[in-house]
Structure 1
Amino acid sequence: MQQKIAAEFLGTFWLTFAGCGSAILMAVIPNRGLGFTGVALAFGLAVLTMSYAVGRISGAHFNPAVTIGLWVGRRLPGVDVLPYIIAQLAGATVAAAVLALIASGRPGFEIGAFAANGYGELSPGKYSLLAALVVEAVVTFFFVFIVMRVTAPGAAAGFAPLAIGLTLSLIHLVAIPVTNASVNPARSTGPALFSGAAYLAQLWLFWLAPVLGGVVGAMVARAVR
């Protein structure tokens, strides 16, 4: 269990640091920033690389919605759920703290608009609460569904991290304009803690929608064999 917790902590740290860091530190540079596509690719590469690095230790969840979904899908014992989620939250929070420290080196710069999730006025495209709820639930449904299927018995060996990383990049291309793309309650919680009360007040949606979508995705994945 200690090895699993360490793997989940490191994986979620890397996901948050690399993914959110690409938005905070590079995407804002005029004419040379990464843009939405670069940020989406960074999130996918972060999951891909860490999945190969520690996937055999913990299963490479790095996401409470995935952990809960795999538990519902009977891929994870219940005793592992809470330790995994605590490790994921810790990894994302520490990563966000490091990013906040780095970003503080740029006077007047706040990480919220680039890393925290939001709807309404806090949405990059000013999308409504309903739009945010729907997009987060739908993309997490497919994310957990794909995770379940590419790691199922009989799936092509060695290719699961590649499929999962590419899926996460695709998800971010769709969801960044709406919510800054959560799909992951831990990744949402870490940056929100350093982004102000407005983002914390909306954090409930970025737990509810991904967990709901992930649970349904796992159930459908078990039914589709």
Structure 2
Amino acid sequence: MKKSYVAEIIGTAILVFFGCGSAVFAGDKIGFAGIAITFGLTIIAAAYGLGKYSGAHLNPAVTLGALVSKRIKASDALGYIISQCIGGTLGAYVVYALAEAIGGSHGMGENLYTAVGIKAGLIFEIFATFIFVLVILGATSKKVNGDFAGLSIGLTLAMIHLVGIPITGVSVNPARSLGPALFAGGNALNELWLFIVAPIIGGVLAGLLNFYYFQDGKAE
């Protein structure tokens, strides 16, 4: 297995474990702001620790954005996405196993649109993913100094969570939603489609804009 795929498995597992774990085990103590910061810090850590191996996509929406920006081959993109889904499921399993070991939990940090409705869920997830992936593609462009890319990406994810946790719990990442949904079951599985479809749309739109207008394409 390629080092890049292993890095994506480990990185996505780290993201789901610490991000969702902060909601499951410490959410009542650290609140929305604490959870948001945890997600952001996790991305920063993974970007600097694993980015040299895979670019630390950790997210199928990011990989698809990179694909339409022609930064990654289709064959590698498929391997990345499979690895991310494995990693997200692994990270969620560790959260689930720990919750069971200490006497259960109040959820898995799963994503839901029940409280706000499908329309609001789609609007938020598409727009937030679009912004997130656009920032990633811009921050990692060869035309800019990438030394602070991980920091800007992590801070962007934290800001998205500060706004979005009360709306959908924030996905912007199908792999992040898949793992917790598999173990939470019920409505989390029934509503999982939105957290796959919406981030994919947002990521692809960001990739197209980046390629044809901002950074990578001939149109610039």
When the two structures are superposed, what TM-score results if normalisation uses the length of structure 2? 0.94
**Residue in 2 aligned with 1:123?**
none
Which residue, out of 85, 89, 101, partners 1:105?
101
The Cα shift of 1:108 comes to 4.8
Task: Report the residue type matching 1:218 in the other structure.
Answer: G
1:91 aligns with 2:91: no
In the alignment, structure 1 segments of 5+ residues that lack a partner are 121-125
Q: Which residue of 2 aligns with 1:46?
A: 42
State the match for 1:159 in structure 2.
148
SS of aligned partner of 1:119: coil
SS at match of 2:183: coil
Query: Does the Cα contact within 8 Å between 2:112 and 2:169 map onto a contact in 1?
Result: yes
Contact residue 63 and residue 186 of structure 1 kept, 8 A:
yes
Counterparts of 1:109-124 in structure 2 under 5 Å? 109-112=105-108, 115-120=109-114
2:207 to 202, 218, 221: 218
| Aligned positions of 1:39-78 closer than 5 A | 39-78=35-74
Q: 1:167-205, CA deviations, whole angstroms, 9 ceiling, x for partnerless residues? A: 110111111110000000000000000111221011000
Which runs of 4 or more aligned residues in structure 1 lie more than 6 Å from their structure 2 counterparts after TM superposition? Answer: none
1:117-132 pair list within 5 angstroms: 117-120=111-114, 126-132=115-121
Aligned to 1:190: 179
Number of equivalenced pairs: 214
RMSD of Structure 2 on Structure 1 (CA):
1.1
Question: Unpaired segments of 5 or more residues in structure 2?
Answer: 216-220
AA paired with 2:113?
Y
One-letter amino acid of the structure 1 residue matched with residue 50 of structure 2: V
